[in-house]
């Protein structure tokens, strides 16, 4: 099954996008979601909402949000049709007329029968499975094809997918991106399958045009390739996902590529989440312009930005929390899903100043609500600390090669104060000057001072980060007792 491509997703006017999204939403809610999703059928009944009253995307505000805490009974979120009701639907009768009973049955199975699963990583809670039908996989492949198109991947590119092999969206989005775009791709499985040495050898052998990976793992990979004296001069794109990519990290990755002989490299970030079953990319932008924003597929998803405190929608271009609604999803489905992701530039609908596409874009830094933690530091109890800001500061520090931020209790006493220790690998230069710079930057930006700055080497930092061991490298580690 292939996604039926359209010509409007990236060049339609805003009026046309609004009209088409509203029509897709009406059909989705009335014919698939409310009739066949146990959770949403019950929710609409509980709230006294008629499915046919949702006529446009503006009407979504009538509906409650769905949050991660609601996803306990995962089967309730799967679209499971009642055969008798499905047969009565006009769309089913039309399929029978066009394709005959056997053909209609095959098409409905492709649309509605789950055959594939990914899951959340389970870092903060038990993993939550999300099921895909063949239609969902077609959507995933088409979204991946667009991701390659937006990234300006040429048909003759050779690509290495270094995401960890796991039932998580990142790996499979990269896999289906290559099949959708008909681009040669080798998946290494990341560090856990081949190790960093194995990845370095494969990349040296293949000489790829692009590498798709998690930023921290790729950072260690490039650094190790430099240590081994490799030349990867053919690299043109680094496509990153699974973690934030601050400007400082982009600069360091670009510098590493320069040391490997690749002088013109586009650093492209992607944004996705398990519950959305897709990912979006930036288009390559000149360094002096900065990131162009994540290009949303308006035929597959509707995005709202809300005030995370009040739940009210905010105007375009204003910061807020990302809320996701699918428009053509089957299998596991969430509606008005609060991602917990905060975007500081909001959603914009003007044409992209870099590529000219008219699809909506998410602009600016994206951070997690859960990355704001409460610490008991010094005499100030319960200080709220934004670890997103700390990451940006450390990644942007000149002369700092790699780092890990460790939270502990003083003397490992559960009743004592919290302490923050920063482990660092210097690139070169004076360690005392780097230590002073780190302390001054953190104090100026966050009014926090680390209890200690400890220096280590690259091999030790790779072990601390869990490179080749963990699915996601550990840049912030909380060693405080529960």
Q: What is the pLDDT of residues 218-231, one digit of tens each?
A: 999 999 999 999 99
CA distance 16 to 14: 5
Is residue 76 pLDDT above 80, yes or no? yes
Fold agreement between 129-281 and 371-478: no
**pLDDT given at position 370:** 67
- Do 58 and 329 form a contact (C-beta atoms < 8 A)? no
In this model, does residue 179 exceed pLDDT 50? yes
Say what the pTM is: 0.90
Grade residue 380 by pLDDT with cuts at 50, 70 and 90. very low
pLDDT at 123: 62
CB environment 117-134: b (16+ within 10 A), e (fewer): ebbbbeeeeeebbbbbbb
Domain-wise residue ranges, the chain: 14-114, 129-281, 371-478
Query: What is the arithmetic mean of pLDDT over 34-45?
Result: 97
Give pLDDT, residue 371. 67
In which band, very low, low, confident or very high, does the pLDDT at 379 lie, cut at 50, 70 and 90? very low
Q: Which of 192-196, 393-397, 435-439 has the highest mean pLDDT?
A: 435-439
Q: How far apart are CA 9 and CA 63, in angstroms?
A: 26
Residue-wise pLDDT for 328-350, tens only, equals: 999 999 999 999 999 999 999 99
Q: Find residue 279's DSSP bridge partners.
A: 272
pLDDT, one tens digit per residue, over 61-75 is 999 999 999 998 899
Split at pLDDT 50, 70, 90, the class of 209 is very high
CATH of domain 371-478: 3.30.300.30
Least confident range from 233-237, 299-303, 323-327, 442-446: namely 442-446
Which of 40-54, 113-127, 131-145, 308-322 has the least mean pLDDT? 113-127
Residue 163 has pLDDT above 70, yes or no: yes
Residue 474 CB coordination number (10 Å): 16
Q: Which two tokens stand for residue 214?
A: 């998690």
Which CATH fold would you assign to the domain 129-281? Answer: Rossmann fold (3.40.50)
Question: For position 378, what pLDDT does the model report?
Answer: 52
Measure Cα distances from 350 to 297, 343, 360, 451 in Å: 14, 17, 7, 46
Instruction: Determine the pLDDT at residue 392.
Output: 85
Instruction: Give the pLDDT mean for 14-28.
Output: 98
What does the pLDDT look like over 256-270, one tens digit per residue? 999 999 999 999 999
pLDDT in the model for residue 383: 65
pLDDT category at 472 given cuts 50, 70, 90 is confident
The predicted structure's pLDDT at residue 288: 86
CA distance 274 to 168: 7
Mean pLDDT, residues 123-151? 93
CB 114 within 8 A of CB 81: no
Per-residue pLDDT of 417-450, as tens digits, reads 888 899 999 987 789 999 999 999 998 888 888 8
Structure confidence at residue 428 (pLDDT): 78
CA–CA distance, 482 with 462 (Å, rounded to integer): 26
Residue 399 C-alpha from the chain's centroid = 28
């Amino acid at each position: 099954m292939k996604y039926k491509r359209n010509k409007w997703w990236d060049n339609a006017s805003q009026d046309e996008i609004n009209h088409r999204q509203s029509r897709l939403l009406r059909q989705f809610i009335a014919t698939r979601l409310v009739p066949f999703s146990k959770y949403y059928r019950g929710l609409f009944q509980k709230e006294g909402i008629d499915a046919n009253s949702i006529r446009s995307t503006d009407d979504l505000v009538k509906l409650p949000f769905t949050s991660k805490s609601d996803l306990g009974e995962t089967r309730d979120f799967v679209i499971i049709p009642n055969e008798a009701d499905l047969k009565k639907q006009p769309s089913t009768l039309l399929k029978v007329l066009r394709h005959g009973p056997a053909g209609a049955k095959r098409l409905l199975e492709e649309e509605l029968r789950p055959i594939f699963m990914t899951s959340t990583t389970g870092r903060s809670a038990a993993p939550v499975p999300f099921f895909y039908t063949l239609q969902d996989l077609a959507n995933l492949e088409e979204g991946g094809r667009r991701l390659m198109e937006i990234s300006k991947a040429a048909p003759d590119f050779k690509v290495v997918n270094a995401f960890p092999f796991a039932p998580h969206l990142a790996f499979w989005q990269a896999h289906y991106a290559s099949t959708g775009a008909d681009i040669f791709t080798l998946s290494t499985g990341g560090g856990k399958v081949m190790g960093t040495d194995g990845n370095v050898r494969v990349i040296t052998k293949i000489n790829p045009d692009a590498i798709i990976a998690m930023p921290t793992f790729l950072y260690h990979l490039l650094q190790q390739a430099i240590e081994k004296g490799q030349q990867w001069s053919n690299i043109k794109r680094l496509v990153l996902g699974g973690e934030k990519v601050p400007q400082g990290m982009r600069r360091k990755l670009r510098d590493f590529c320069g040391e490997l002989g690749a002088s013109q490299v586009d650093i492209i970030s992607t944004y996705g989440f398990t519950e959305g079953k897709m990912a979006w990319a930036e288009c390559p932008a000149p360094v002096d312009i900065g990131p162009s924003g994540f290009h949303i597929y308006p035929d597959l998803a509707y995005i709202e930005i809300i005030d995370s405190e009040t739940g009210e929608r905010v105007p375009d271009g204003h910061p807020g929390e990302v809320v996701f609604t699918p428009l053509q999803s089957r299998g596991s489905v969430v509606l008005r899903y609060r991602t917990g992701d905060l975007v500081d530039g909001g959603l914009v609908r003007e044409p992209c100043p870099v590529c000219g596409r008219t699809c909506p874009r998410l602009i600016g830094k994206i951070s997690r609500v859960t990355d704001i933690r409460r610490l008991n530091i010094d005499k100030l109890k319960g200080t709220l600390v934004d670890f997103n800001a700390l990451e940006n500061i450390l990644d942007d520090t000149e002369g700092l090669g790699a780092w890990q931020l460790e939270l502990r209790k003083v003397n490992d006493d559960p009743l004592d104060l919290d302490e923050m220790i920063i482990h660092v690998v210097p690139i070169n230069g004076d360690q005392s000057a780097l230590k002073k710079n780190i302390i001054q930057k953190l104090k100026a930006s966050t009014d926090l001072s680390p209890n200690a700055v400890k220096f280590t080497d690259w091999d030790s930092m790779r072990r601390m980060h869990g490179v080749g061991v963990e699915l996601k490298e550990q840049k912030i580690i909380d060693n405080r007792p529960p």
